[in-house]
């Protein structure tokens, strides 16, 4: 028994816990006990550099609550965006990509599309202080020219405001579709060949990657999809070639820090081989 009345085993346990907590963000002091328990399971050296999220289930969330407008689900999902972004930044992740509006979403009823664009514009303005406070840089992938003037203006202003931030990058996929992205990249490569800047035999996977919207970002290590759907929905088809996929039945407006931490714990439990085989002689 030690002088303070603690057994050697308890001292060792307390020391181990203190060492494990040494990397925790200061914000974790305010997290719930269950969130801190999940945080304690994480190895900070094995966190994903880039997490991508398909935010699904907003309309279903509204319908389950008897709400007439699907927009109420999207509005509720804003808090999930805020908490996921803040948590990823606090954990020191490099990139968080959110599938905010797809190319296919333009086919939705015009009233819903208009409401979504208004919601996007308000979000981009309202979150500026939060982005600056957390040293987050905002950028986008997708067809920027498709956005209405108000949304495009709010996006450009917020990206310019946060351009000097060197913490996490929040990457919004807006009017985005992976097939459209690959088509645009292919056109740019074809134009380079036509100008004599590139020969066909020089077109490698690296060259293609350099012409994608994500050319300056690492590929996602982890893809999270909410609402339990088992599909990737034309999202980052090239970039997620070796991403680990985590599907949760939780609808996006109910997705919070605990679900994000659970996804990270699941990610760290995977063995990533990138197409190779494990050495059978390993113990």
**Which residues are catalytically annotated?**
56, 105
Pairwise CA distance, residues 281 & 283, whole Å? 6
Pairwise CA distance, residues 234 & 70, whole Å? 22
CA angle 212, 217, 222 (to 5 degrees): 105
Q: Which two tokens stand for residue 15?
A: 């020391």
Pairwise CA distance, residues 108 & 94, whole Å? 33
The maximal CA–CA distance of the chain, rounded, in angstroms, is: 80
Pairwise CA distance, residues 65 & 130, whole Å? 29
Q: Which residues of 17-52 are buried (b: 16+ CB within 10 A; e: fewer)?
A: eeeeeeebeeebeebeeebeebbeebeeeebbebbb
Pairwise CA distance, residues 242 & 220, whole Å? 8
Residue 123's closest CA among 172, 61, 69?
172
C-alpha distances in Å from residue 64, one per residue of 55, 72, 74, 143, 256: 17, 11, 14, 32, 19
Pairwise CA distance, residues 48 & 92, whole Å? 10
Pairwise CA distance, residues 207 & 199, whole Å? 11
C-alpha distances in Å from residue 47, one per residue of 93, 215, 235: 7, 21, 22
């Amino acid at each position: 028994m030690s002088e303070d009345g603690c057994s050697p085993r308890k001292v060792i346990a307390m020391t181990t816990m203190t060492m494990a907590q040494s990397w925790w963000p200061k914000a974790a002091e305010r997290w719930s006990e269950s969130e801190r328990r999940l945080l304690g399971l994480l190895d900070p050296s094995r966190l994903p550099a880039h997490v991508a999220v398909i935010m699904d289930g907003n309309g279903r969330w509204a319908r389950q609550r008897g709400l007439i407008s699907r927009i109420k689900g999207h509005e509720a999902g804003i808090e999930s965006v805020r908490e996921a972004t803040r948590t990823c930044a606090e954990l020191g992740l490099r990139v968080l990509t959110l599938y905010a509006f797809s190319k296919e979403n333009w086919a939705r009823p015009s009233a819903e599309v208009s409401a979504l664009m208004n919601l996007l514009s308000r979000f981009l303005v309202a979150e500026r202080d939060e982005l600056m406070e957390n040293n987050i840089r905002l950028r986008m992938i997708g067809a920027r020219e498709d956005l209405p003037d108000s949304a495009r203006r709010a996006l450009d202003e917020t990206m310019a405001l946060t351009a000097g931030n060197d913490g996490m990058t929040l990457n919004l996929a807006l009017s985005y579709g992976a097939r459209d992205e690959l088509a645009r990249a292919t056109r740019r490569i074809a134009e380079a060949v036509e100008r004599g800047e590139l020969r066909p035999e020089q077109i490698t996977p690296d060259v293609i990657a350099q012409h994608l919207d994500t050319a300056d970002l690492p590929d996602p290590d982890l893809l999270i999809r909410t609402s339990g759907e088992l599909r990737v929905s034309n999202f980052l088809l090239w970039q997620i070639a070796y991403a680990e996929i985590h599907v949760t039945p939780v609808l996006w407006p109910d997705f919070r820090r605990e679900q994000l931490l659970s996804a990270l714990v699941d990610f760290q439990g995977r063995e990533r081989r990138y197409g190779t085989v494990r050495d059978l002689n390993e113990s």
